[in-house]
């Protein structure tokens, strides 16, 4: 029987969902059809920060719970951090490069952009970190899909000198050649779960959970769990830019997780950056502990300044 995979209708969402569909068919032999779902976030031009957490996933989850689709693919960073009582993340496929990317006119890097250059991005996290660099750039909040953002720099009606966006989306759309610089996480720490996908189904669909588990990548799941655990612990009353990046690497006594986290004031003047290490089995605890470290170091004062 053909499985119905719910997806947003953007080019990137369709590309990501087709990748998952093809991988599932290759692993299990089950055919998959894509079902396009329009979300409230797709119908609005408002900044994502104003729309709220979960705006891109609510319609997909409603379709899942109504039995209109069998499973859904989300950009993991779009999911609320709290678990849904009736839904289950059955697989986290291997992660694409989680770093941010710069696409600038004339092949310029961030440091090469002249003072006063206009640079566009939609994320408050990126805006704050760009301001923190002190490069005298004019940061412009923008929305839109990957293609429309790139067009604002490289298109015939370009009105920006550069844009910053997730490298993962650019790569999945086959446009990596247009990236002029992949930004070092020491300069621009990514969003929690950036570059990762979440494959979600109903919690009581045990047969499908088992089937989808063929797509799960344990190191990616552990890294994302650590990052999102940090975010969840910080999230109450938090509208400040929060960033996190976890890596799983081989250590002296087996695999280890190295988690870096940051909370930055929106104006970029103040930032608290800390790190923690541990084992993949303790991913959630590492994230929570790092969040507590950040709060102990005064992150709550940065978060409170944005409320």
Q: Which contiguous run of DSSP H or E holds residue 186? A: none
The answer to whether the CB of 299 falls within 8 A of the CB of 271 is no
Beta bridge partners of 69: none
Distances, alpha carbon 187 to alpha carbons 126, 179, 182, 294, in Å: 10, 17, 11, 18
From edge to edge, which strands make up the β-sheet containing 100-104?
138-141, 118-121, 162-166, 100-104, 181-182
Is residue 78 part of the annotated active site? The answer reads: yes
Cα gap 54→67, rounded to integer Å: 20
Cα gap 90→76, rounded to integer Å: 12
Residue burial 215-238, b: 16+ Cβ < 10 Å; e: rest: bebebbbbbbbbbbbbbbbbbeeb
Distances, alpha carbon 165 to alpha carbons 104, 170, 212, 240, 303, in Å: 11, 8, 29, 19, 23
In sequence order, the 6+-apart residues with CB closer than 8 A to the CB of 43 are none
In sequence order, the 6+-apart residues with CB closer than 8 A to the CB of 153 are 103, 104, 105, 120, 160, 161, 162, 163
Rg of the chain over Cα atoms, rounded to whole angstroms, equals: 19
Task: Indicate the SS3 state at residue 234.
Answer: helix
Q: Alpha helices, DSSP H only, in 29-161?
A: 48-51, 58-65, 124-132, 146-154
Catalytic, out of 78, 100, 161, 300: 78
Beta bridge partners of 126: none
Catalytic residues: 78
């Amino acid at each position: 029987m053909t499985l119905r995979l719910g997806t947003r209708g953007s080019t990137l969402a369709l590309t990501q969902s087709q990748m998952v569909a093809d991988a599932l068919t290759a692993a299990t032999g089950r055919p998959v059809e894509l079902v396009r779902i329009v979300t409230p976030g797709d119908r609005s031009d408002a900044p994502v920060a104003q729309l709220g957490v979960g705006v891109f996933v609510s319609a997909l989850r409603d379709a899942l719970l109504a039995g209109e689709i069998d499973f859904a693919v989300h950009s993991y960073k779009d999911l609320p951090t709290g678990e849904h009582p009736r839904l289950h993340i059955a697989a986290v496929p291997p992660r694409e490069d989680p770093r941010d990317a710069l696409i600038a006119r004339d092949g310029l890097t961030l440091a090469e952009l002249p003072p006063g250059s206009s640079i566009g991005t939609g994320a408050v996290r990126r805006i704050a970190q760009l301001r923190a660099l002190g490069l005298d750039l004019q940061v412009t909040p923008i929305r839109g899909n990957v293609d429309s953002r790139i067009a604002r720099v490289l298109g015939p009606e370009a009105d920006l000198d550069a844009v910053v966006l997730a490298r993962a989306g650019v790569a999945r759309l086959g446009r990596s050649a247009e990236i002029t610089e992949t930004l070092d996480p020491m300069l621009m720490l990514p969003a929690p779960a950036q570059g990762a996908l979440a494959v979600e189904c109903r919690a009581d669909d045990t047969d499908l959970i088992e089937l989808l588990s063929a797509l799960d990548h344990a190191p990616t799941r552990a890294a994302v769990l650590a990052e999102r655990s940090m975010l969840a612990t910080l999230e109450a009353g938090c509208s400040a830019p929060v960033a996190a990046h976890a890596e799983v690497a081989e250590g002296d006594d087996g695999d280890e997780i190295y988690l870096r986290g940051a909370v930055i004031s929106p104006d970029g003047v103040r930032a608290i950056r800390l790190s923690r290490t541990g084992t993949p089995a303790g991913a959630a605890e590492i994230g929570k502990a790092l969040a507590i470290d950040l709060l102990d170091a005064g992150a709550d004062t940065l978060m409170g300044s944005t409320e």
